[in-house]
Amino acid sequence: MAKKKEEIARDAEVSRGENRAIVKFRPGDLLMMIFITLLSLTCVLPFIHIAAKSISSNSKVVAKLVYLIPKEITFDAYGSIIRDNTLTYSMGYSVVVTFIFTVLGMFVCICGAYPLSRVRLKGRKWLTFLLMVPMYFGAGLIPSYLLYSDYNLLNNMWVLILPLIYSAYNLLIMKSFFMSSIPESLEESAFLDGASNFQILLKIVLPLSKPILATISLFYAVGRWNSYADNMYFIRSEKLKMVQYKLYQMVASAQEAQTASMADAAAVTSTPEVLQAASVMFITIPIICIYPFLQKYFVKGTMIGAVKG
């Protein structure tokens, strides 16, 4: 009897269009909220810590007296970054590389995924298998280096773009989306109307695939923006280094200064911690500003990959 009453009350809540979880606050919800808050803080607190360091005085930072609130506030570090303009240049350069990389990556991905998603392509299982091989096997650093050297790609902006524009993982996600979301019947009717394969792709398939296009573009862009290992091995010119690699160098040189061997250290100097923190902020803030608007596409992409990949 009591059970029935509960069910009736629940139905009444639903019929009023209210969310039961919000109306009835339970201890489990509280625990969940605390857990999520703590989880969020593990991401937010380090960021606030770096932000506080970037505008504090050097002596307070060296003494590790700055946690979340800046002390002896100064913007000198940001001033030096802007005056020096090296990081500003690298930031602009990184945006250009990321943009070209994303456009070409999407082109390759679409051109690969669409044909492989169509049943009418003969041998598509074989082709898919071959295209998946690079996901599991890599030639290694030295053979890659020699290959790029032969193609005159070393110390060239294109070495940051061409080798990575084909991504088996992204191709797989996009192929799955095309297979599940674009019915063959739609294409058949387009064929009957006299459309070619390219026309179908451009005028029917792509306009219907905006969510996956946004998601994969984001995967490409974020992937390129965050990686720096190829910068380290294949780029030697200062002008061709992306901003993330410059940041890595800055941090690595500071660590090296702390553990330098005697042979090397006539007088070891390192980038002041405040300047490092300011550089991190300078590079991160633009992404932080853009990210909330793009986050939903990340979630969508993960869902597609999880359910249909």
Partner 1 sequence: MLSRVLAVVLAGTMAFGLTACGKSSNKNTGDKIDTEWKKFDNTVTLKVPVYDRGGNSNGVADVVNNDWTKWVQEQFGDKWNIKVQYVPITRSDVLTDYALLAADKNLPTICAEYDYPKMTQWISDGYIDSFDMDTFKAIAPTYYANMEKTGLLNMTKVSGKDYLVFGSRAYGFSTYTWATFYRLDWVKAAGYDKFPDKLSDQIECYKKIKALGLCEYPLGGTRVTGAGVDQNHGYRDYPQNEELWATTGDYNIPALSTEAQKRFLKVANEEYNLGLIDPEFYLKESSDAIADFVNGKSFQYSCYLSSTIQALESFYAENPNGEVGLMVCPGYVTDDAYHWSTAYRAGLNLGAYVGFSKSATADEKKAAMMYLEWLITPENLFTFQWGVEGKNFERDANGNPVAISTEGMGHNSNVDYWMLAEAVKSLGNIELDVKAVTPQNIPADFFADILANYNGQKEVYEKGFANVDCYFATSIAAEAEYAQTLYGKYEEYRNKLTTCKPEEFDALYDELSKKYLEDGYQKVIDERSKALKDGNGTHLK
Secondary structure class of 133 (helix, strand, coil): helix
User: Is the Cβ of residue 62 or residue 111 nearer to partner 1 in the bound state?
Assistant: 62
Dist. CA 245–CA 7, nearest whole Å: 59
Give kind and range of the element (H or E) at residue 192: helix 184-192
User: Is the Cβ of residue 203 or residue 236 nearer to partner 1 in the bound state?
Assistant: 236
Question: Could you tell me which residues come within 8 angstroms of residue 302 by beta carbon, excluding any fewer than 6 positions away?
Answer: none
- Shortest distance, CB of residue 306 to partner 1, whole angstroms? 29
- Shortest distance, CB of residue 95 to partner 1, whole angstroms? 17
User: Is the Cβ of residue 146 or residue 299 nearer to partner 1 in the bound state?
Assistant: 146
User: Is the Cβ of residue 195 or residue 251 nearer to partner 1 in the bound state?
Assistant: 251
Cβ atoms of 59 and 283 closer than 8 Å = no
- Shortest distance, CB of residue 266 to partner 1, whole angstroms? 4
- Shortest distance, CB of residue 138 to partner 1, whole angstroms? 9
Dist. CA 103–CA 224, nearest whole Å: 12
Strands (E) across 193-291 are located at none
User: Is the Cβ of residue 215 or residue 279 nearer to partner 1 in the bound state?
Assistant: 279
Residues making contact with partner 1 (CB under 8 A): 58-60, 62-65, 80, 84, 86-87, 90, 133, 137, 139-143, 145-147, 149, 154, 232-233, 236-239, 241, 246-250, 252-253, 255-256, 258-269, 271-273, 275, 279
- Shortest distance, CB of residue 232 to partner 1, whole angstroms? 6
Dist. CA 134–CA 39, nearest whole Å: 35
**For 204, which DSSP code?**
I
